Amino acid sequence: MATVDVDLPHVKDEDPHHHGPAKGIGRWLFTTNHKDIGSMYLIFSLCMFMIGGIMALIIRAELFQPGLQLVEPNFFNQMTTMHGLIMVFGAVMPAFVGLANWMIPMQIGAPDMALPRMNNWSFWILPFAFLILLSSLFMPGGAPNFGWTFYAPLSTTYAPESVTFFIFGVHIMGASSIMGAINIIATILNMRAPGMTLMKMPLFVWTWLITAFLLIAVMPVLAGVVTMMLMDIHFGTSFFNAAGGGDPVLFQHVFWFFGHPEVYIMILPAFGIISEIIPTFARKRLFGYSSMVYAVASIALLSFVVWAHHMFTVGMPLVGEVFFMFATMLIAVPTGVKVFNWIATMFRGSMTFETPMLFALAFVVLFTIGGFSGLMLAIAPADFQYHDTYFVVAHFHYVLVPGAIFSIMAATYYWLPKWTGHQLNETMGKFHFWLSFVGVNVTFFPMHFVGLAGMPRRIPDYALQFADFNSMASVGAFIFGFSQLVFIYNIIQNVRVGEKATAQVWEGANGLEWTIPSPAPYHTFSTPPKVD
């Protein structure tokens, strides 16, 4: 990003028209303040991360040994399903929306989001969506147990009755995401400070702009596919029912038309965050700013023509397999551009290794490992061996946990002093980082091996030869899971106490958000700054 020279007329809360937050619960229920809403999104996401994490630990506890020890197979399936849904829609996506709410107005010099009331609404429908989804755990027949990808007819003809609640939950989350995306696009396109041209925007803003367009393009398709399920289940249609002339394979096509862009929705903002953090701690400008922007845009465009690589084994003709194989591999090119740019940014920089930087570096290394296993999966003839094995599980957890989740943790540590006004406790931050880093790798790396050896995913029991690697993965999962208590402790401690943070916070940080005092006042940039 270009160095931003700012002329700040006033940023303090002295204007008589400005007021602080309202008192009591009403502040949170009726707030239209982007910082309040951002905080609520982040706290909500953290709660969901913990709930989804408990489910993951139930899964790993059952898989610690071969045989059935702790849970019924049906409950195990409910856990894998709910874990996936909650982590994707409840933890990762709201966390990025929360970061967008907090940071985008501050990074582009806007006083708030473009549509503050809709912002309030798009947050407040989310807890209800997840209450509906989680309530299905207590219903007769249990929660959805058909996997987070809810393939028909497993999710229609053979689904537990609670599937209808799942469908409405997905509708509400979809509505929330679409409203959030509209708000973000309107903010970025219309509310930038004078002089903040598109190509001067911080990369976090750029990646979110592109992500928001992806959300608007595919969340309605998800709403469409669950609506078709609803109609198949309750209104006698046969979209996915072969007996009525429908086609279950159609479900997979429509789902993955949503699903593949969705996985980029979960990683593009992460790219943005990493592109903010690495220059700060390398004390150099980001290498290849414009190539980064174009790389993100081309990844987003390519995401629409690769969906069938999730379904190489459904019986596609050779032409289809070849097309989707090469289209998928093409994505490695812009992704490679990004990885090399991050490395070039660090090259000969004067680097320091504060907690956000450690998470960012782990992101670059571990996300790249996940990217490479993705390339392996993209090879259509080899995919027949990998399909539906733990190799797939290892792959997407490598891109989502040390990818998306680590970037969210990095962002939290990076911007926390700006939010709370307290400097980070580096010792505790590093403690959290190393526990998480070791935990993640011990959990997910062995999954590559059992996957290649043929262990199928989504099963509560497995053959004896997989026992060692599985117990190793379970130990890692518990280390990673419990180390998140350190994360929560760090956040709470930082809110409560800590050395007073300066406006600059990090020596090498650049951008409008570092020109306002820490903690950021309730209202910022009421008068737009001038960016040269």
Partner 1 sequence: MQESVKTKRLVVRLATAAVLMFGFGFALVPLYEVFCDITGLNGKNFTQGPAAITAVDRSRTVKVQFVTVNPAEMPWEFKPTERTMRVFPGEDKVTAFYAKNPTPEWMVAQAVPSVTPSEAAQYLHKVNCFCFDRQPLDAGADTEMPLVFVVDPELPKHITTITLSYALYDLTETDNQQVTLRSQDNDKGRASL
Q: How far is CA 46 from the centre of its chain?
A: 12
Separation CA 398–CA 392 (nearest Å): 10
Query: Per rule CB under 8 A, is residue 114 in the interface with partner 1?
Result: yes
Quick one: the chain helix, strand, coil %, rounded to 5? 70, 0, 30
239 binds partner 1 (CB under 8 A): yes
Site string for partner 1, 195-234 (x = CB under 8 A): ---------------------xxxxxxxxxx-xx------
End-to-end, the C-alpha distance of the chain in Å comes to: 13
Q: Rounded to an integer, what distance in angstroms lies between the CA atom of residue 159 and that of residue 157? A: 6
Our finding on whether 254 is near partner 1 (CB under 8 A) is: yes
Three-state helix/strand/coil letters over 240-256: CCHHHCCCHHHHHHHHH
Selected binder of partner 1 within 181, 400, 409, 442 (CB under 8 A): 181
153-166 burial, b for 16+ CB within 10 Å, e for fewer? bbbbeebbebbbbb
Site residue total, partner 1 (CB under 8 A): 40
| H helix intervals, 347-466 | 355-378, 380-386, 390-399, 406-420, 426-452
With binding defined as CB under 8 A, does residue 91 bind partner 1? no
Annotated active-site residue 262? The verdict is yes
Among candidate residues 135, 68, 99, the one with its CA nearest the CA of residue 274: 99
Question: Is 496 known to be catalytic?
Answer: no
The 262-301 contact track toward partner 1, x by CB under 8 A, reads ----------------------------------------
Question: Which residues on adjacent β-strands are paired with residue 500?
Answer: 422
Q: b/e string for 181-218 if b means 16 or more Cβ within 10 A?
A: bbbbbebbeebbbebbeeebbbbbbbbbbbbbbbbebb
Question: By CB under 8 A, is residue 399 in contact with partner 1?
Answer: no
Q: Which of 121, 148, 151, 489 is catalytic?
A: 148
Catalytic residue among 200, 338, 448, 523: 338
Q: Is 161 a catalytic residue?
A: no
Quick one: 92 or 228, whose CB is closer to partner 1?
A: 228
Amino acid symbol at 274: I
Going by C-alpha positions, the residue among 49, 70, 74, 232 that lies closest to residue 144 is 74
Q: Which amino acid is at 436?
A: S
Active-site entry in 177, 187, 373, 524: 177
Minimum CB separation from partner 1 for residue 258, in Å?
8
182 binds partner 1, rule: CB under 8 A: yes
Catalytic residue among 31, 162, 176, 443: 176
Determine whether 290 is an active site residue.
no
Residue 147 burial (CB count, 10 A): 16
Q: Is 264 a catalytic residue?
A: yes
> Going by C-beta distance under 8 Å and a sequence separation of 6 or more, which residues neighbour residue 207?
268, 269, 271, 272, 275, 296
Nearer to partner 1, 166 or 251 (CB): 251
Of 178, 210, 339, 435, the one binding partner 1 by CB under 8 A: 178
305 binds partner 1 (CB under 8 A): no
Q: Residue 176 catalytic? A: yes
Q: Is 102 a catalytic residue?
A: no
Position among 317, 348, 464, 496 found at the interface with partner 1 (CB under 8 A): 317
* 309 annotated active-site: yes
Out of 190, 290, 348, 427, name the contact with partner 1 by CB under 8 A. Answer: 190
Q: Contact between 125 and partner 1 (CB under 8 A)?
A: no
Residue type, 427: T
State yes or no: residue 108 binds partner 1 (CB under 8 A).
Answer: no
The reply on whether position 473 binds partner 1 by CB under 8 A is no
Catalytic site residue from 200, 284, 309, 448:
309
250 binds partner 1 (CB under 8 A): yes
Residue type, 490: N
Residue 338 known to be catalytic: yes
Rule CB under 8 A: say whether 249 interacts with partner 1. yes
Alpha carbons 441 and 230: distance in angstroms, whole number: 40
Instruction: Tell me, rounded to whole angstroms, the distance of Cα 144 from its chain centroid.
Output: 22
Question: Interhelix angle for 248-265 vs 203-234, to 10°?
Answer: 160
154 Cβ partners below 8 Å, 6+ apart?
A: 146, 147
Please state the closest distance from residue 194 (CB atom) to partner 1, in A: 12
| Nearest approach, Cβ of residue 123 and partner 1 (Å) | 18
433 binds partner 1 (CB under 8 A): no
**Catalytic residue flag (residue 291):** no
Q: Which residues of the shown chain bind partner 1 in the complex (CB under 8 A)?
A: 114-115, 178, 181-182, 185-186, 189-191, 216-225, 227-228, 236, 239, 242-245, 247, 249-250, 253-254, 257-258, 315-318, 320
Q: Which residues are catalytic, by number?
A: 83, 112, 148, 176-177, 260, 262, 264, 275, 309-310, 335, 338, 457
